[in-house]
């Protein structure tokens, strides 16, 4: 099996010994087409050492180059509070993460896209929020809320929690294939990265093809 590792700026130091012998390529933060596509040609497993947004950027290149079915994606989180690690129960210890990345089995997990060309692998947020939120055909919110949180959810696609609703500051939750938001200008955040402009419409939805994420037992 051909394995390569992409190390992003947030990863400090060398990779753990389990990954010795793996070809390592330093790449920029949130690597793009010119940084990734040539490196992943012929790879069967790509290990990303970095932040959640770095992993999402590499997953986007797998999508754009039609490699979702042929390449497994493994993750070494550089931050202990990684939302991707929490969502998919991945280890954050470098040694344990490297062991899983090298020897673990890929599982198919929902690949969540947005209508602005990005991906969501760990956690999405909109805040503050005043508008209308539909989850598939279910009305989740009409009015104001403190924030909306969306993580991927297997196998259906996405989960959603709208918090700070009404006088009692309630939490509303739902899950399904897609969440659609129409609102006053709000900040959309995907995997820790804010969209460069306030948005009045936003959608997160399950892609037709899954991501092969390495998270099975070693």
pLDDT confidence of residue 168: 41
Q: How many CB atoms lie within 10 A of CB 13?
A: 8
| CA-closest candidate to residue 214, choices 80, 70, 52, 46 | 46
pLDDT confidence of residue 172: 72
**Phi-psi region at 208: left, alpha or beta (left = phi > 0; alpha = psi -120 to 50):** alpha
As a whole number, the mean pLDDT across the chain is 93
pTM listed for this prediction: 0.94
Alpha-carbon dihedral 90, 94, 95, 98, rounded to 10 degrees = 60
pLDDT confidence of residue 165: 62
pLDDT confidence of residue 108: 96
Q: Strand, coil or helix: what is 106?
A: strand
**Is the CB of residue 126 less than 8 Å from the CB of residue 181?**
yes
Residue 43: both structure tokens together: 């790879």
Computed from CA positions of residues 200, 206, 208, 214, in that sequence, does the dihedral angle turn out positive or negative?
positive
- The stretches in the chain having pLDDT less than 70 are 164-171, 218
């Amino acid at each position: 099996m051909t394995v390569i590792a992409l190390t992003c700026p947030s990863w400090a130091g060398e990779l753990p010994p389990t990954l010795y012998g793996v070809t390592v390529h330093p790449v920029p933060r949130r690597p793009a087409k010119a940084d990734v596509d040539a490196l992943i040609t012929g790879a069967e497993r790509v290990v990303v050492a970095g932040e959640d947004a770095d992993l999402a950027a590499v997953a986007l290149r797998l999508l754009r180059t039609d490699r979702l079915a042929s390449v497994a994606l493994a993750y070494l989180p550089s931050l202990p509070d990684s939302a991707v690690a929490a969502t998919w129960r991945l280890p954050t210890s470098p040694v344990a993460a490297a062991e899983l990345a090298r020897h673990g089995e890929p599982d198919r997990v929902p690949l969540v896209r947005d209508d602005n060309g990005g991906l969501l692998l760990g956690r999405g947020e909109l805040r503050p929020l005043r508008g209308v939120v539909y989850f598939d055909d279910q009305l989740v919110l009409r009015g104001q809320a403190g924030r909306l949180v969306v993580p991927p959810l297997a196998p259906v696609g996405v989960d959603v929690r709208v918090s700070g609703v009404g006088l009692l500051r309630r939490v509303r939750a739902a899950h399904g294939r897609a969440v659609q938001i129409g609102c006053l200008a709000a900040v959309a955040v995907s995997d820790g990265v804010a969209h460069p402009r306030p948005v009045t419409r936003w959608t997160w939805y399950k892609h037709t093809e899954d991501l092969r994420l390495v998270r099975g037992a070693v």
